[in-house]
Amino acid sequence: MGPNTAARRRPRQSSPAAESAIALTVAGSDTSAGAGIQADLKTFSALGVYGLTAITCIVAEIPGKVSELEPIDPVMVRKQIQVLFDAFRISAAKTGLLCRSETISAVAGILRTKNVQLVVDPVMIATSGDQLLSPGALDAYERELFPMATLITPNLDEAATLLGGEEIADRSSMAKAARRLGKRYGAPVLLKGGHLHADIALDVLCRDGKITEFSAPFVPGIATHGTGCTYSAAITAGLASGLSLCASIDRAKHFVTRSIRRHLRWKAVSGAPIDTLNQFG
């Protein structure tokens, strides 16, 4: 036995791990894992952030078809958030699907008491066209949650609904809509243009009346859902890691584009192709 054997057998001392930034998602569970809580967690992990979850509802679905949505009791939603804040240093949080006004009020009520940066993704309708938010819930969003947001991230349809059906058809109407919403809620608004333009995916941020555009090449021919969830989760991960709002959005935009490009495609039992995002980072 050589003189160094004992030392060699000793387990290697690992260096202490750097403390991870921590982010929370308050959202619904998507059984097919392309959107919702599952997309958020994958995104947090890919971006090096430790993710916590508070589940607001369970959605039985596959891409393109929502079968059933079961809300969680708002008291239980509140409890999930409270135990997490009691134990973890959470630097940023996001909300996704909140389903109904009682849940929005419960979430706003508890988050108001915490010092945390908050991204509000006002999920209303699934990509399949299924309604996910109960009628009447918009009022709770507008009065309680939007005014406390670090960022609100509506897509074109959600922004049009919030603006009473106003058509948003080009770059200048996007800027106008983002300005109106930002002023109304007293919070920064990132209006996501999706496939409004043929070859670029353009988003418009209005913050304190100032417009900033973010763009990336549009990735055509992929039918997927969960891009909005992934985008807002990636922005939240950036904020949790200490990036500025603009740097968080910029990095998140490229993360979503990469996740769409690297999508997974497989054949469903029915034979139809299914695409999902691949949040690898």
Cβ of residue 126: shortest distance to ligand PXL, in angstroms?
4
Are the C-beta atoms of residues 260 and 216 closer than 8 Å to each other?
no
Q: What is the C-alpha separation between 246 and 179, in angstroms, rounded? A: 17
Binder of ligand PXL out of 97, 98, 149, 174 (CB under 6 A):
97
Residue 41 lies near ligand PXL (rule: CB under 6 A): no
Establish whether 192 is a catalytic residue. yes
- Give the three-state DSSP class for 173: helix
Are the C-beta atoms of residues 125 and 162 closer than 8 Å to each other?
no
**Which listed residue (51, 64, 96, 226) is catalytic?**
226
Binder of ligand PXL out of 71, 182, 228, 238 (CB under 6 A):
228
Instruction: Output the CA angle 263-265-269, nearest 5 degrees.
Output: 150
Residue 229 lies near ligand PXL (rule: CB under 6 A): yes
The DSSP H or E segment spanning 203 is strand 200-207
**Which listed residue (96, 228, 230, 236) is catalytic?**
228
Q: What is the C-alpha separation between 247 and 84, in angstroms, rounded? A: 27
Taking CB under 6 A as the binding criterion, the range among 6-14, 174-182, 183-191, 221-229 that sits at the site for ligand PXL is 221-229
CA distances from 49 to 2, 21, 46, 204, 227 (A): 44, 5, 8, 26, 19
Taking CB under 6 A as the binding criterion, the range among 15-23, 30-38, 134-142, 190-198 that sits at the site for ligand PXL is 30-38
Residue 260 lies near ligand PXL (rule: CB under 6 A): no
Binding residues for ligand PXL, rule CB under 6 A, total 18
SS3 content of the chain, % helix, strand, coil (to 5): 40, 25, 35
Establish whether 246 is a catalytic residue. no
**Which listed residue (192, 236, 238, 276) is catalytic?**
192
Site of tokens 């006002």 = 122
Residue 154 lies near ligand PXL (rule: CB under 6 A): no
Cβ of residue 156: shortest distance to ligand PXL, in angstroms?
14
Establish whether 226 is a catalytic residue. yes
Establish whether 53 is a catalytic residue. no
Cβ of residue 91: shortest distance to ligand PXL, in angstroms?
23
Cβ of residue 34: shortest distance to ligand PXL, in angstroms?
8
Q: Which two tokens stand for residue 31?
A: 């059984």
Give the residue ranges of DSSP H helices in the chain.
5-9, 36-46, 74-87, 101-111, 137-140, 156-162, 171-185, 227-240, 245-261
**Which listed residue (25, 176, 229, 276) is catalytic?**
229
22-30 and 92-95: which strand pairing? parallel
Residue 62 lies near ligand PXL (rule: CB under 6 A): no
Please identify, using beta-carbon distances, which residue of 29 and 278 lies nearer to ligand PXL: 29
What residues from 102 to 131 belong to the interface with ligand PXL (CB under 6 A)?
123, 126-127
Taking CB under 6 A as the binding criterion, the range among 25-33, 111-119, 170-178, 267-275 that sits at the site for ligand PXL is 25-33
Establish whether 224 is a catalytic residue. yes
Q: What is the C-alpha separation between 265 and 257, in angstroms, rounded? A: 16
Catalytic center residues: 192, 224, 226-229
> What residues make contact with ligand PXL under the rule CB under 6 A?
27-30, 35-36, 59, 61, 66, 96-97, 123, 126-127, 225-226, 228-229
